[in-house]
Structure 1
Amino acid sequence: MTEHPTVADRAARGKAARTDTPLTSLREWQPAPDRPDPVALLEEQNLTRETDLVPVRHGRMMVSPFTFYRGAAKIMASDLRHIPRAGLITQLCGDAHLSNFGVYASPERNLLFDLNDFDETLPGPFEYDVLRMSASFTIAARNNGFAAADIRAVTLASVRAYREAMAEFAAMRTLDVWYARLSEKELVEALGAARGTQKGKAARKASKAVEKNTLRGAEKARSRDSLQALAKLAEFVDGRYRIVSQPPIVVPAREMAVSLGFTPEATEAAVRSQLQAYRETLQADRRQLLERFEVVDVAHKVVGVGSVGNRAFIALLQGRDEQDPLFLQVKEATSSVLEDHLPVSEYEQPGERVVQGQRLMQAASDIFLGWTRGVQEGRFLYWRQLRDMKGSAVVEAMVPLGMTLYANACGWTLARAHARAGDPVALAAYLGSSDKFDRSVTDFSQRYADQNERDYQAFLDAVRTGRLVARAGV
């Protein structure tokens, strides 16, 4: 039976953790003396990826230190195993960099801002996600050419928002924490309030521009649904829609079948079998909803930066007629990069690990989240909607004020996710009311950004010497 310590006991546990792990313990971070070769870690990951797509992954990581960081979750996971930890465990996103936050539609069709990538999710020390997030702000701000003071301010804002939000959640009733969310309305209100605090004409103008861009982004996200995907990804041939071939990014099943030696009948049988297995992982009402759709076409589709090379597919389903589409995305799930040193997941199937972690951490989740075993032995998949009013910020276009406001939203959101899955009272008691933790994490982030730049240079050198092959611009 689960124990239920008092609020006072929970707070005492958090405060006691400061004895062994002071709030300032992260500020002097240094890479371990026996730190693995970062390029070797990437090569190790590449062993399980599709060989012809690995150069595409490298090409996307080559763009900047920031894009490299996005694809280097395994490298940072290796570094995090050596950091001081307070012993406060929660469900981790596992890859909480700032581009893995964004908007999407709740089942009630409201836009929410939340974490949106859970490929690496696993229970673990809360610091892992905070450091992954904060370092991403330092690296992105450097990449955008911000002044040193602005870089530090942006990073501090993300950690301060996390700490202050956790204090709020610690004082809330349990169900209020569970139902907390950051909606479009609340996001816009926060931007409006921030505009009111700006001093000077230039600052107010910049704040208004940030608010305008946010509203424009929300409007764009609302248009990103299956009908929009149909117009972009499909063509009408012989009386029905099919997915357009755009190799190597999109390769329809009809072409994969030829290259792999599958007959059309074998391909259709595999798709039907996968869909049936996926259906069984859905809630009963959603299984019935899915039954109203039939599969029309399937294709391989390359996505993201860190995920490139893992198997990823899209499936076009049709409801009542050709103008009633449903696009599902099917992504390969592998072991979390954190499982190299943290306890392995309680879920034997990595796809279920991803889905259950997402459901636990998000304020509301996609109604079509599910998982299957792949056709090939040892392959595991998870399913979700391809475009469900999803939108993300253009980080490279952010100015200091915009990134600071975005950092506030990300910090609050990460705290809310950790509060749902962990103990907000203990976490808040550990973090305290001073800015010691904020400054310590910001110092870590600056040091880690330096390390990331060294790793990025080693990566570029590996490409230049032919150790790694890269295909840019894809």
Structure 2
Amino acid sequence: MTAPKVQHLSVAERKARGKGAREHTPLTSHRGWVPAADRPDPVTVLEAQNITREQDLVPVRHGRMLVSPFTFYRGSAKVMATDLKDTPRAGLITQLCGDAHLSNFGIFASPERLLLFDLNDFDETLPGPFEYDVLRMTASFTIASRNNGFSASDARDVTLAAVRAYRETMASFAQMRTMDIWYARLSQEDLTKALQQSVGTGTGKQRKLNRTIEKTMKRNSAKARTRDSLQALSKLAEFDDGQYRIVSQPPIVIPARELLDAFGMSAEETRRAILDQLRAYRATLPDDRRHLLEQFQLVDVARKVVGVGSVGTRSFIALLQGRDQQDPLFLQIKEATASVLEDHLPKSRYKQPGERVVQGQRLMQAASDIYLGWTKGVQENRFMYWRQLRDMKGSAEVESMKPAGLSLYAHACGWTLARAHARSGDPIAIAAYLGKSDKFDKSVTDFSERYADQNDRDYARFAEAVRSGRLQAVEGV
């Protein structure tokens, strides 16, 4: 793999590049979005994705997407990728999350055991136009606001909060030194302090609401700190015949011992294949992490369904044991396919999709899981990436949020996305392009409202496909 040539432009040149981009892509260019005349049928797009997925889980995926237009949006990144290819671009490239909807942000523990708020899903990560992530994020806030029953005015304010935070944060990063941008992070404490500062302002009703939000944040933080491998052991495993093993909870969790027929392998062949995968994964870790992982021995493996859009791709959990049976480590092994953006953008420089995910995550996150690694799967054209299953991970309960709470969350997500893009792209050029006015904010919000309308139509088409029997769905799983 040949490293790309690096240009070192002056600050003035970088600013000029950003401002010059307005000439061919005005800040108002996202207004008035309409779907392309040759836009593919969204159901057909989803059916094409299902071909390589675990067929017994495809109905589960459909059932989860069928819950609401918001859950449909979560599972239809490939549909939106097709729409984004025709949207205006300023020509300013960053590492994209690729699926930056609001549920792909959350808290988790850094290697120093601090709780950080950051992006936490990189299955679709790829270099591309910074606008793609912004539009995916802001549309998710409009759709979530409607899902929560907000007025059109409140939904618009929430969406504006997200894109405004992105623009203003990027302007701040444009003034910072390079290493300061790299070290920037948003901790759970930072979020709490920001809220505490606002408690004393506003009306009595606003102060009461802020205190409620603060209590919720503290409760979620405390809950996240309990989500580790020891807690997972109590939820996912049972002590049987002198050792722990993963409990069968079909179709969500199915131990490898029950999947032998599905993979056409004997128990011994499966055991050897799993150990070979573990050794290959260890080889992708830095030496110190490899040494740490070697202190654990493999105990059991199971298939485990996760997420919405990921359902049906291969996903496993592995239970390892350290010094004794009360020293567990759960790893998650997820299938990595080509990014949905690779249909419309240059292919990844990484031939191995698992490495694409890992390297993109390391580039965008303020701190990443120490166990991130990748392997080629046992079967042809299957690729995996590895990480900890639970490392104090937590997510916001978006469906229960009121306008004020979702606006606060939108600001945190906008800040975080700008920080991720500033690490991987050119914050000076992007900030110069975005400028100080709210033209970009309003333009993107207009797009988000129109895209939310389209998402409603796509959801209705999807629901009809389920009702007609074209698609099979299993709900409540």
TM-score if structure 2 supplies the norm length? 0.98
| Amino acid corresponding to residue 439 of structure 1 in structure 2 | K
How is 1:329-368 mapped onto 2 (pairs within 5 angstroms)? 329-368=332-371
Equivalence for 1:123: 127
1:410 matches 2:413 = yes
- The DSSP-based 3-state class of the residue aligned with 2:300 is strand
Deviations 1:341-372 (A, max 9, x none): 10000000000000000000000000000000
| Amino acid corresponding to residue 113 of structure 1 in structure 2 | F
Equivalence for 2:200: 196
- The DSSP-based 3-state class of the residue aligned with 2:32 is coil
Equivalence for 1:229: 232
| Amino acid corresponding to residue 310 of structure 2 in structure 1 | S
CA distance in 2, matches of 1:130, 1:164: 13
1:40 matches 2:44 = yes
| Amino acid corresponding to residue 38 of structure 1 in structure 2 | P
1:386 matches 2:389 = yes
Picking from 14, 20, 23, the partner of 1:16 is 20
1:423 matches 2:426 = yes
TM-score if structure 1 supplies the norm length? 0.99
1:443 matches 2:471 = no
| Amino acid corresponding to residue 138 of structure 2 in structure 1 | S
In the TM superposition, residue 148 of structure 1 has moved relative to its aligned partner by: 1.2
**Unaligned runs of at least 5 residues, structure 1:** none
- The DSSP-based 3-state class of the residue aligned with 2:116 is strand
Equivalence for 1:241: 244
In the TM superposition, residue 258 of structure 1 has moved relative to its aligned partner by: 4.8
Equivalence for 2:315: 312
Equivalence for 1:274: 277
After TM superposition, the structure 1 stretch with the greater mean CA deviation from structure 2, 330-339 or 252-261, is 252-261
| Amino acid corresponding to residue 470 of structure 2 in structure 1 | R
Picking from 137, 141, 147, the partner of 1:143 is 147
In the TM superposition, residue 194 of structure 1 has moved relative to its aligned partner by: 2.7
1:66 matches 2:61 = no
Equivalence for 1:133: 137
Picking from 55, 59, 83, the partner of 2:59 is 55
CA distance in 1, matches of 2:146, 2:371: 38
Deviations 1:116-135 (A, max 9, x none): 00000000000000000000
Deviations 1:250-274 (A, max 9, x none): 0001111255443221111011000
CA distance in 2, matches of 1:257, 1:460: 34
In the TM superposition, residue 169 of structure 1 has moved relative to its aligned partner by: 0.3
CA distance in 1, matches of 2:334, 2:198: 38
Picking from 253, 256, 260, the partner of 1:257 is 260
| Amino acid corresponding to residue 6 of structure 2 in structure 1 | T
CA distance in 1, matches of 2:342, 2:90: 19
| Amino acid corresponding to residue 394 of structure 1 in structure 2 | E
- The DSSP-based 3-state class of the residue aligned with 2:57 is helix
Picking from 372, 376, 400, the partner of 2:379 is 376
Deviations 1:213-235 (A, max 9, x none): 01100110000000000000000
CA distance in 2, matches of 1:386, 1:36: 36
Equivalence for 1:463: 466
| Amino acid corresponding to residue 105 of structure 1 in structure 2 | A
Paired residue total: 473
In the TM superposition, residue 65 of structure 1 has moved relative to its aligned partner by: 0.3
CA distance in 2, matches of 1:258, 1:94: 35
Identity %: 73
| Amino acid corresponding to residue 463 of structure 1 in structure 2 | V
Picking from 91, 97, 107, the partner of 2:95 is 91
In the TM superposition, residue 192 of structure 1 has moved relative to its aligned partner by: 1.1
